[in-house]
Structure 1
Amino acid sequence: MKWTTANLKNPNYSENHEIYVGTHTGSFKKITVANEDKPFLQQNLQEISKLDKDSRVTALGFGNEDKSEVLIGRANKFVQVYSLDTQMAQTNLEMLDAPVVGICRYDTQLIAGFGTGKIQKLQIAEDMVLSAGDNIAHLRQCEVERKLVATGGKGRQNNLKVFDMDAGKQVFSSKNLPNDFLELEVPVWDSDVGFIDANTIATCSRHGYVRLYDTRAQRRPVQKYATEDQMSFATLVARDHYIYTGTTMGAMKAFDTRRMKNFVHTYKGFTGSISDVHLDQSGKFLVSSCLDRYVRVHHTDSCVMMYQCYVKSKATRVLIRNAVGKEKTDDDVVLVGVENGEEEEDDDDVDEKPQEKDDEYDEIFNSMPTVGDKDSDDEEQKEKSTVKRKAEGKNRKNKKKKKNV
């Protein structure tokens, strides 16, 4: 699909999705893509007037397995637990530091990571604070083992680290690659991390590399992708054998963990830095937020852009889930052109109504030849013309014979 600035929805995109967007201005929005009549309608779930000027959304994540609550981290030390069922903020906590670069939930505990390198665990008898360096960019939780969280940041002291929040200690720390041919240290900047499983972790960097770690094998990456081109990765999401990354130059790439020599997919349509990416439950659709103020949905296999919506503010974080509610039935289908409160007439009733007789129409219709009649007339005309030509030819021959005699 060609690049365009218009809101669009692919006719083949019929998934029952809801998209939640956090913006640079601090607004938290909901877009119901499954709404057939208004698929681009945006609903502000929080009043912007009550938000602080420095309340931009810096972290967004689901708080439970059924995805009925959203954890919102902001740049002003505050974290909110928002219930999607009641559409109200249940908890508003002031954190230890700011900005919040990642937030997740484990049982009844909230785990938040800050840009200063600290990790705070709340809602227990005594708050726990761990150190992950001094400048981390992101914190992610493992969906398989929810007690595990991973962090990554800028500099060798802020490389990939994995923490066990039950034990309250660090269980893994990555090791940098060997020095280059000039014996200089390879620069490190893990801008985002993602769990593939409990032991396999992917990272991307502003320095243009994507690395894959196996905590059971070694501290250095087991596979990696690196390029000399100006490709600065800002965010990623990993699932099964694939890693989906977004860059600061408005490009989105997909990598296969079984062959990391090059990327396998490229997704187009962006005009700004990609700030966040997220997969739906099936893994077939990839939603992304971009600083060009658009939210987009791509099909992971075909790379086709299925949906694009302008959200009026710079989108910083995005989530996607299946809409909750009963499935549509034949009785729930609303037909286009039928006003509310009006009943649609059945087809059987329409057929039974007597229609007015139109003599002029009947005369025109009766005078129209059928296909079969036309064909037979043409064949008959051809036979007559053939017989006539033969007769004329015989007459000419007879006249010539008489003249010769």
Structure 2
Amino acid sequence: MNGTVKVFSTEKGKFTEFRDCAGGEGPFRGLAVYGSSLITCVESGLLKVWKEGSSDHAEVKVGGGVCRMRQDPGRPERVGTGGKENELKVWDLQRPQEPVFTAKNVRNDWLDLRVPVWMRDMQFIPSTDKIVTCTAHGQVRVYDPSSPQRRPVLEMTYEEYPLTALSLTADGNSVVVGNTHGQMAVLDLRKGRLQKCLKGQAGSLRSIQCHASLPLVASCGLDRFLRIHNTADKRLQHKVYLKSRLNCLLFTSRENWEEEDVELATEGGVKEEEDEIWASMAMVTDGTRSKRERDPRETPDSQKRLKKTIKDSSV
């Protein structure tokens, strides 16, 4: 909230860098890395490229009410922005004077009323120029900047509640969306229809992430649970309670994390075996004991009193 960007090292387990990226008003709505530079965008619409070791930072005004800024993974010099009454725009950071694409609102509804604009999330479709977005009015739209049409080339509606997050599946042919009532579904981007619903959520969804190669999707939200569904058979495979309200999640990019866990588990097993061996060994003690350590029944006086007690009780 104060404009500070922290760099956390997962290898060292601590923050290694702090950068002051204050500017504009409102919280961050997007953060990306472009070479050695940072790209930030705040709610008021100020997008800045923070060049490392330089005080000359590029600024772009993308319009107020920004809800999301995302980077194109195939072309990292391009970013997309949009929000409340702020249509989708695609910017080329090498030529930031004007957007390379500006979407146009859909036609008026059947009452000839203007359709409100409120884009909540977006993502670039890999290996294409297309962009998929979701809105606070339950619409999922696909734009194609390479075509002369500025309006969406595909539009779907899912339920009536605001959509809050989306994520493309591994093949790029479907998108998983979630709304404020905990409803999550898989939509087909080729046919423009609902494929399946993923059940189990109990609160507003804030983040959805599909696995890069497996048919898995992870979701989290205000019900404090992390859930992992299988998009092939719709089953809930894992459910973990994480105590606090959750806003974001990511899959790890390490491919050999299972092998690393096995190595750690093997080392832990060896240590446990050593502890068991030490625990099973008998304690070697000295045969001589002091008078205080002796059992009081072993003294001559105590033995006489014990005999007298047995004799009296028999009588």
Fold-level similarity (TM above 0.5): yes
Percent of residue pairs identical = 30
In the alignment, does 2:120 pair up with 1:188?
Answer: no
Partners of 1:100 and 1:251 in 2: CA distance: 26
Q: TM-score scaled to structure 2, two decimals?
A: 0.78
8 Å CA contact retained: 1:102, 1:138: yes
Name the structure 2 match of 1:249. Answer: 181
Partners of 1:93 and 1:335 in 2: CA distance: 39
Largest Rg, 1 or 2: 1
Name the structure 1 match of 2:231. Answer: 300
* Structure 1 segments (4+ residues) deviating >3 Å: 322-326, 328-339, 341-345
8 Å CA contact retained: 1:204, 1:211: yes
Name the structure 1 match of 2:298. Answer: none
Name the structure 1 match of 2:282. Answer: none
Point out where structure 1 has 5 or more consecutive residues left out of the alignment: 1-74, 346-405
Partners of 2:146 and 2:48 in 1: CA distance: 26
Instruction: State the 1:267 CA deviation.
Output: 1.0
Partners of 1:256 and 1:298 in 2: CA distance: 17
CA RMSD of aligned residues (A): 2.6
Q: Say how many residue pairs are matched.
A: 267
Query: Residues 177 and 325 of structure 1: is their aligned pair in 2 closer, same or farther, counting only changes over 3 Å?
Result: closer
In the alignment, does 2:190 pair up with 1:258?
Answer: yes
Partners of 1:183 and 1:332 in 2: CA distance: 64
Name the structure 2 match of 1:147. Answer: 77
Name the structure 1 match of 2:90. Answer: 162
Select which of 13, 30, 36 maps to 1:87: 13
TM-superposition CA deviations, 1:155-192 (whole Å, max 9, x none):
1xx11111111222411110011112322111111000
Name the structure 1 match of 2:28. Answer: 100
TM-superposition CA deviations, 1:73-114 (whole Å, max 9, x none):
xx3322212121222222222321330011110111111111
Point out where structure 2 has 5 or more consecutive residues left out of the alignment: 278-315
Name the SS of the counterpart of 1:234 in structure 2: strand
Name the structure 2 match of 1:207. Answer: 137
Query: Residues 112 and 333 of structure 1: is their aligned pair in 2 closer, same or farther, counting only changes over 3 Å?
Result: closer
Query: Residues 144 and 271 of structure 1: is their aligned pair in 2 closer, same or farther, counting only changes over 3 Å?
Result: same
TM-superposition CA deviations, 1:257-284 (whole Å, max 9, x none):
1011x21121111110000111223142
Name the structure 1 match of 2:46. Answer: 118
TM-superposition CA deviations, 1:31-55 (whole Å, max 9, x none):
xxxxxxxxxxxxxxxxxxxxxxxxx
Name the structure 1 match of 2:304. Answer: none
Instruction: State the 1:196 CA deviation.
Output: 0.5
8 Å CA contact retained: 1:253, 1:267: yes
8 Å CA contact retained: 1:281, 1:322: no
Partners of 2:104 and 2:185 in 1: CA distance: 25
TM-superposition CA deviations, 1:349-371 (whole Å, max 9, x none):
xxxxxxxxxxxxxxxxxxxxxxx
Partners of 1:327 and 1:337 in 2: CA distance: 15
Partners of 1:255 and 1:288 in 2: CA distance: 16
In the alignment, does 2:262 pair up with 1:327?
Answer: no
Name the structure 1 match of 2:4. Answer: 78
Instruction: State the 1:341 CA deviation.
Output: 3.2
Instruction: State the 1:226 CA deviation.
Output: 2.2
Query: Residues 294 and 178 of structure 1: is their aligned pair in 2 closer, same or farther, counting only changes over 3 Å?
Result: same
Name the SS of the counterpart of 1:81 in structure 2: strand
Q: Which has the higher contact order (CA 8 A, sep 6+)?
A: 1
8 Å CA contact retained: 1:338, 1:344: no
Query: Residues 326 and 115 of structure 1: is their aligned pair in 2 closer, same or farther, counting only changes over 3 Å?
Result: same
Select which of 111, 131, 134 maps to 2:61: 131
TM-superposition CA deviations, 1:205-251 (whole Å, max 9, x none):
11110000111112110011025x42310111124111111111101
